[in-house]
A and B are shown apart, each in its own frame.
Chain A
Amino acid sequence: MNTTDFAATVHRDGDVARLELTGEISGVAEEGLQEAFGQAGDARTVRLDFTAVDYINSTGIALIVGILAAARKSGQTVEASGLAEHYREIFRITRLSDFMTIIDGGEGQR
């Protein structure tokens, strides 16, 4: 696995920064995810768009926890969209969904 297994594009729309994530959220995503979060800057809401994500593992969960912790410190809200049902279940089990808004909707569903 190399760094091309993960990519992130940041879209800014007013107070919302949408991080369009592609590939896998695992150890390979560490640098890219943090960089993308940095680019979100002072946006009030950071929305992680998982539509094009096909794999999240425990290391990836830890990365998301890290982002969530940093966002809470700076008073930002974190949302997750486009999560496949399996990962929505994992977000429930890990209680991530208690601390971030999970946006439903057809997009990105498997």
Chain B
Amino acid sequence: MSLLSLTRIVRRGPRAAAPVQAEESAEPVAAAPAMAAPALEISPNDPIVAYFQSASGAVAIQTLELDSPALEALKQAGVELAAPLVSQGELVGLLNLGPRLSGQDYSRDDRKLLDSLAAQAAPALQVAQLVRRQEAEARSRERIEQELRVATLIQQNFLPKKLPDLPGWDVSAHYRPAREVGGDFYDFIELPDNQLGIVIDDVTDKGVPAAMVMAATRSVLRASAARIVSPGTVLGRVNELMCPDMPPKMFVTCLYGVLDTTTGRIRFANAGHNLPYVRTETGTIELRATGMPLGLMPGIEYEETEAVIEPGQTMLLHSDGVAEAHGGEGGREMFGFPRLLDVVGARVGSGEVIPRVLGELHRFTPAGWEQEDDITLVAVKREWPAEARLESTGVDLVFSVPSVPGNERRASERVAEAIAPLELAPARVDRLKTAVAEAVMNAIEHGNESNADLLVEIGVRSDDGAVAVRITDRGGSRPIEEPDAPDLEAKLEGRQKPRGWGLFLIRSMVDDVRVETEADDHTIELVLRLEEGSHEHH
């Protein structure tokens, strides 16, 4: 045989309509170096593919008549005989032979040899092609994963390591990246004269490019905020600096506010970001300010708005990941701004905004929901001044812990710290600690089903000669039944399970226990009188 080459069939990609360019590693194999035939690629819709697939053996090329570009190419390359390599009904290649060096025709034996060679080569070739394709896919998957890791790293490196600790203010933040990390970001900038810069932004796009733009925005904004007082001017300046270097089709929505922590006055400007909500005594209001996103075009001026956050009010900044989450009936409904506004304004439970929003989002989205976009929430709450606290709703402390076993101890320690000024007898503090730990453990395990994304809220309040601790979880729709009163003898004899002490302990430790459910919230309130009174043990 004088000329042997292997023809490769170009395959359609999984979704591409046109033949894909074959990967480099699949170079045609040329076994006759002296007269190697040129590589030939056959389009999958060439009629010769069907012809080869149904051929019973080697095909004489020069005498074949078919309207086929590939056939023309084979003829021109001087191919005499082509043995189709068919495996599992699929044409995976051709063994092509040129004229015999002797000039004679190929004999019957030659053809038989060629056919048996083709029959053995075809499955091997198909396996090799499959392996190469899988290797290429694995490499590309690994590249994507690596990129995601890099993007996450950049993102997390630039998020604030700790929240600002301001007297009279309770600042909390929640950031949860989507699997394909988006460009969400928040920041707090300490400014002179008790002022705090608050930033939330969202870069369109995902992965490393978004993370890089996020990092650049952060630096430029921090630098500008340090020199310029007016938030509108800061955003204008950031926009000027970002525009020349912004990659095409990318931009940044950003809200920047400067909070005077002594007066509660906040001045802010908005570059196309979601409007902040303020939860007040009478409902929720939207703070309005508009402006073009950063990086779209130079020369933009940003309107500035002013508001005052009064004691007891909370301002919530939020990214698209919440309002644009899909769920509800058939998973096609959007969470939406109106719903978010309702959740923020709801006045149930002990009242932290972020756990409430996350709880509602969890209820709205289907089980195993893969988050579509980053979720960022920043809540800035102005506390009542110390002297007003007892006269008003009297909340001394509200905090939350993720629903992770072990956090019940941390929560009970924190409650103990909060009530330290009340100078209760140590034994009573111990009782309250045990009751709180048990109630928080129930909230973690039963109410929130140990879902670490859900928070347990704990509110501590002292007035009317008693301290009340409210523990709220999201298990309102499936309240747990109180087990039979534990009977130790029955337990020791195996007539009752060894467990089931939690609620019994709680009731034994404090003076009063109240349970309430409202929508999805389940709250247990533990009341301990400040003076030891008529509390009797069982």
A interface residue numbers (CB < 8 A to B)? 1, 5, 24, 27, 55, 57-59, 61-63, 65-66, 68-69, 72, 85-86, 89-90, 92-96, 98-99
Contacts and interface: CB of A to CB of B under 8 A. Distances in A.
Contact of A86 (B430, B494, B499): B430
A95 B537 contact: no
Interface stretch (B74-82, B267-275, B353-361, B433-441): B433-441
A94 B486 contact: yes
Given A86-B434, A99-B492, A58 B501 contact: yes
B431 interface: yes
B495 to A, nearest CB: 11
A72 B492 contact: yes
Contact of B538 (A59, A62, A86, A93): A93
Interface string B489-523: 00111100111111011001000000000000000
B427 interface: yes
A91 to B, nearest CB: 10
Nearest to A68: B492
Q: A1, A65, A95, A99: which has the most chain B beta carbons within 10 Å?
A: A65
A55 B409 contact: yes
Contacts of B502: 58
A83 to B, nearest CB: 12
A86 B427 contact: yes
Nearest to B430: A86
B498 A62 contact: yes
A27 B438 CA distance: 12
B411 to A, nearest CB: 12
A69 B491 contact: yes
B13 interface: no
A57 B430 contact: no
23 contacts: A57-B438, A58-B441, A58-B502, A59-B441, A61-B501, A65-B492, A65-B498, A66-B498, A69-B491, A69-B492, A69-B493, A69-B494, A69-B498, A72-B492, A86-B427, A86-B430, A93-B538, A94-B486, A94-B501, A94-B505, A95-B488, A96-B488, A99-B488
A1 B498 contact: no
Contacts of B488: 65, 94-96, 98-99
Nearest 5 pairs between A and B by C-beta? A1-B406, A58-B501, A86-B430, A62-B498, A58-B502
Contacts of B409: 1, 24, 55
Contacts of B504: 58, 94
Interface residues of B, number: 28
Nearest to B407: A1
Contacts of A5: 406
Given A63-B498, A89-B431, A94-B505, 13 more contacts: A1-B409, A5-B406, A57-B441, A58-B441, A58-B502, A58-B504, A61-B501, A86-B431, A86-B434, A93-B538, A94-B486, A94-B501, A98-B488
A58 B7 CA distance: 74
A85 B538 contact: no
Given A65-B491, A94-B486, A89 B427 contact: yes
Interface string B378-412: 00000000000000000000000000011011000
Contacts of A98: 488
Contacts of B537: 89, 92-93
Given A69-B494, A86-B431, A90-B434, A1 B405 contact: yes
A105 B494 CA distance: 33
A95 B538 CA distance: 10
Nearest to B503: A58
Given A68-B492, A85-B427, A94-B488, A62 B499 contact: yes
B498 A27 contact: no
Contacts of A89: 427, 431, 537
Interface string B57-73: 00000000000000000
Contacts of A68: 492
Nearest to A59: B499
Nearest to B488: A95
Interface string B276-296: 000000000000000000000
Nearest to B410: A1
Nearest to B492: A69
Contact of A27 (B405, B497, B501): B405
A61 to B, nearest CB: 5
Nearest to B499: A62
B427 A58 contact: no
Contacts of B508: 93
B449 to A, nearest CB: 16
Interface in B471-492: 486, 488, 491-492
Nearest to A84: B430
A52 to B, nearest CB: 16
A89 B535 CA distance: 14
A107 B158 CA distance: 51
